Amino acid sequence: MKSIRFRVIGTYLIIIIMTITLFEVGVYSMIKNYYISNIEVMLKSDIDVCLDLYHELYRQYDINLKPNIVGDKFLPYSEAQIQILDANGVVLFDSIGLYAKGENLSELTIGKLTGKGSFTQQETTIMDERVLSVSRIIGAEDESVGILKLSFSLEGAYAALRQLMLILIAGGLLIVLIVSIVGLLLSNTIIRPTKKLANHIDRIASGNLSTVDVGKHNDEFGKLTDNLNNLTKELKSNMELREQFIASVSHELRTPLTSIKGWIITLKTQRDNNKAIMNEGLEIIDRETDRLTGLVDDLLDFSSFTLNMQSLKKSRFNIIEVVQYTCRQMKPRADRLGIEMSCSFNGDVFIVNGDRSRLKQVLINLLDNALKYSERGDKIDIFSSIKGRKIRITVKDTGSGIAHAEQKDIFIKHYQGSNAKKGSGIGLALCKEIIELHDGKISISSTLNVGTSVSIELISG
């Protein structure tokens, strides 16, 4: 597996090498143009001086008759190679003797120079040596009598440019080396916390849910570390809740199963066929079977909602009628327990678009919890308040209440508080899922040993 260190450093190096290369090519091109331009300016200046001098000499010396004398007069005024050609490009004078007198340079004639007195310059190779040449027509009394050509070797300039390029390359390599070393050192600020996070994720995958400390980072690493530690704590909390849930459900399942098993043994071993005992046993078996069925149904419902496998069968109906029906359904149980239950709606009508049976399931669950945590003599009130397109239905009891520290976790699946009674711990979590599927809200307010108030908020549809 490739290390992220080398990917990071490699990316930086590619960018730096490209930048240095473009910079050095640009510097080289500018300096080269500077050198060549200076030589060209020098040659043009020299040729102007020589032509001005010839204007003073042409009455005495004809370049065709005495080219050597004219050429020698030009020598003090230029370090370049001086050549004098006639109108047809035939060499009359060469200051360094590179071309013999009478040799024809047909590529350069007066006719090939554009306009009287025009310049022409070109970079050529003579005897494997690069030179820059500047040529100009020699005129006397409005007559073109020949061509003056100055040539200067560029080898010195190119030698300096090669040396400059070597310096630039060496400097670029030194910069790349320094950047590589600095990059290796700086990459540790990224690699070390990354490795710690990667190792921590491996530990999480293996079941170790401890938190990780990668040092103080006020950046993305710090935020990632905080999020990962929060995730770890959440996973740890969920695992603890899962263990509690398994223990709770195991207990809830074992109790009715034990009762059913005991009564089956009793009925099988009964010899006198006592109908009273048989009826009692069958009634208990029937009740405990219903209890098991309800527990399993709650588990299946919750799994379906959390996995988005359960769809709502929506219709428009008056939610107040459902609440009143649920109150009438639960009131006999409250009367048996000696708990006062009152429902106050005053003929209100509030139409919602939802699943009637699921919302009824929520109300039954809330009333069941209120009855479960209330004692004889306590009171349960069910009432509503309508504001615009919203209705708030509240179930308020004077039961045992819930500790403030536990209220934030009360809607977490499988969570059971310190004073929890028998149950799976998924009732309120299931209620929250159903209400949120209706685009509603559910909230709880409770004071320990004073009572609890649970409210659901729905929107008209």
- Burial code of 332-368, b = ≥16 C-beta within 10 A, e = fewer? eebeeeebebebebeebebebebbbebbbbbbebbbe
The CATH code belonging to domain 220-306 is 1.10.287.130
CATH number 3.40.50.300 given to 315-459: no
Predicted TM-score of the model (pTM): 0.46
The CATH code belonging to domain 4-159 is 3.30.450.20
Higher pLDDT, 143 or 416: 143
Asked whether the predicted pLDDT for residue 449 surpasses 80, the reply is: yes
- pLDDT at res. 317: 92
Pairing relationship of beta strands 340-344 and 379-387 according to DSSP bridges: parallel
Asked whether the predicted pLDDT for residue 452 surpasses 90, the reply is: yes
> Which of the given ranges, 60-69, 299-308, 415-424, 428-437, has the highest pLDDT on average?
428-437
In the chain, which segments carry CATH 1.10.287.130? 220-306
Lowest mean pLDDT of 161-170, 253-262, 344-353, 371-380, name the range: 253-262
- pLDDT at res. 357: 85
Distance between CA atoms of residues 355 and 358, nearest Å = 5
Lowest mean pLDDT of 60-74, 296-310, 442-456, name the range: 296-310
* Residues 368-398 pLDDT 10s: 889 988 999 999 999 988 888 888 999 999 9
Asked whether the predicted pLDDT for residue 122 surpasses 70, the reply is: no
Rounded mean pLDDT, 429-440:
87
- pLDDT at res. 394: 93
Asked whether the predicted pLDDT for residue 40 surpasses 80, the reply is: yes
- pLDDT at res. 11: 80
**CA atoms within a 13 Å half-sphere pointing along the CA-CB vector of 125:** 2
Tell me how long the chain is: 461
- pLDDT at res. 398: 92
Asked whether the predicted pLDDT for residue 1 surpasses 50, the reply is: no
In the chain, which segments carry CATH 3.30.565.10? 315-459
DSSP letter, residue 65: T
- pLDDT at res. 97: 83
- pLDDT at res. 316: 92
Rounded mean pLDDT, 449-454:
92
Asked whether the predicted pLDDT for residue 30 surpasses 90, the reply is: yes
In the chain, which segments carry CATH 3.30.450.20? 4-159
Crossing angle for the helix pair 427-437 and 275-306, to the nearest 10 degrees:
50
What confidence category does residue 455 fall into, taking pLDDT thresholds of 50, 70 and 90?
very high
Higher pLDDT, 383 or 59: 383
Lowest mean pLDDT of 73-87, 134-148, 295-309, 330-344, name the range: 295-309
Asked whether the predicted pLDDT for residue 267 surpasses 60, the reply is: yes
The percent of residues above 90 in pLDDT, for the chain, comes to 14
Asked whether the predicted pLDDT for residue 402 surpasses 80, the reply is: yes
Asked whether the predicted pLDDT for residue 340 surpasses 90, the reply is: yes
- pLDDT at res. 64: 67
Q: Is-contact 403 415, C-beta < 8 A?
A: no
What confidence category does residue 55 fall into, taking pLDDT thresholds of 50, 70 and 90?
confident
> Which of the given ranges, 234-243, 411-420, 426-435, has the highest pLDDT on average?
426-435
- pLDDT at res. 73: 83
What confidence category does residue 74 fall into, taking pLDDT thresholds of 50, 70 and 90?
confident
Higher pLDDT, 256 or 335: 335
Tokens of 177: 């080396």
Higher pLDDT, 315 or 220: 315
Q: Which residues contact 431 (CB under 8 A, 6 or more apart)?
A: 362, 365, 366, 411, 442, 456
Asked whether the predicted pLDDT for residue 338 surpasses 90, the reply is: yes
What confidence category does residue 56 fall into, taking pLDDT thresholds of 50, 70 and 90?
confident
- pLDDT at res. 415: 64
The percent of residues above 70 in pLDDT, for the chain, comes to 78
Rounded mean pLDDT, 353-361:
89
Q: Which residues contact 427 (CB under 8 A, 6 or more apart)?
A: 298, 365, 368, 369
**CA atoms within a 13 Å half-sphere pointing along the CA-CB vector of 134:** 23
Higher pLDDT, 270 or 77: 77
Rounded mean pLDDT, 191-205:
76
Distance between CA atoms of residues 421 and 447, nearest Å = 17
How many CB atoms lie under 10 A from the CB of residue 190? 13
- pLDDT at res. 116: 45
Identify the burial level of 253 via C-beta atoms within 10 angstroms of its C-beta, where 0-12 means exposed, 13-18 middle and 19 or more buried. Answer: middle
Asked whether the predicted pLDDT for residue 456 surpasses 90, the reply is: yes
DSSP letter, residue 227: H
Asked whether the predicted pLDDT for residue 348 surpasses 90, the reply is: no
> Which of the given ranges, 50-54, 116-120, 211-215, 304-308, has the highest pLDDT on average?
50-54
